[in-house]
Amino acid sequence: MSAVPGRSGTRRAIRIHAERHNGDRIGWLRAAVLGANDGIVSTASLVLGVAAAGADHRTVLMTGVSGLIAGAMSMAAGEFVSVHSQSDSENADLAREQAELKQDPAGERQELARIYVGRGLDPALADQVAGQLMARDAMGAHARDEWGFTPGTAANPIQAAWASAGSFTVGAVLPIGVVALVPAAQLGAWVAGSSLVFLAALGAASAVTGGARAGPGVWRVTFWGGLAMAVTAAAGALFGAAA
């Protein structure tokens, strides 16, 4: 808590408090939602397709388990490679910016000032702000205001890989559990219906966690998940009939 002079000359306290922003969660939330959604949809679609093709209950269950293992490993590897590529690109931009700051600090200050002018500051004030920020942390100022890199949005390959693989596994376990518990004759209806419920819950939870309205998130996730399951089941039935 700090104090500043008031209008009457007295000193009034200003309460400083920390704020939480939904953007701070974007790094892990995107990977977790993607993994869980893919785990539910791909595994449910896989077992529905195999079941529609006429496979026995044990084969359907083993197919789901195999899909879980393969999918989790694929999600982890894919997220690590893609996010690492993003991180490498960010680091290359920052290294280039660091070199430019050493070669031409005055020009970089002008560049930063022009950014602030574009955001609404008058030129004199923009130059003053740029000078003060660069005096304190030149690299941080340019990374944030020129490139848009902040700690909350920084790419983290390991975090993304673990979040995707873990959430995929959690998502895939749900339809596999249904397969293991229901009779073979009712498998299709139970897997499809329960998976839509799981997807709706995932859409609502991810929307609320991200600070958005639940309705659109539920609609998007259930519609596309239901479409994927329907197409895969139809393909399985078609190939099963042809065989």
Based on the number of CB atoms within 10 Å of its own CB, is 103 exposed (0-12), middle (13-18) or buried (19 or more)?
Answer: exposed
User: Mean pLDDT across the stretch 95-109?
Assistant: 85
Tell how far CA 76 is from the center of its chain. 14
Tell how far CA 42 is from the center of its chain. 18
d(CA 18, CA 59): 54
Whether pLDDT at 133 is above 90? no
Cα torsion angle, 24, 82, 221, 61, sign: negative
What helix, strand, coil percent values describe the chain, rounded to 5?
Answer: 80, 5, 15
Q: What percent of the chain has pLDDT over 70?
A: 83
Q: What is the pLDDT of residue 211?
A: 74
Summarize pLDDT for 156-188 with one digit per residue, the tens.
Answer: 788 878 888 999 999 999 999 999 999 988 999
Whether pLDDT at 27 is above 70? no
Whether pLDDT at 10 is above 70? no
Looking at every residue in the chain, the average pLDDT score rounds to 82
Q: What is the pLDDT of residue 152?
A: 56
pLDDT band at 146 (very low <50, low <70, confident <90, very high): confident
Instruction: Give the residue, 2 or 242, on which the prediction is more confident.
Output: 242
Q: What is the pLDDT of residue 227?
A: 93
Q: What is the pLDDT of residue 242?
A: 58
Summarize pLDDT for 206-224 with one digit per residue, the tens.
Answer: 777 777 788 888 898 899 9
Tell how far CA 169 is from the center of its chain. 16
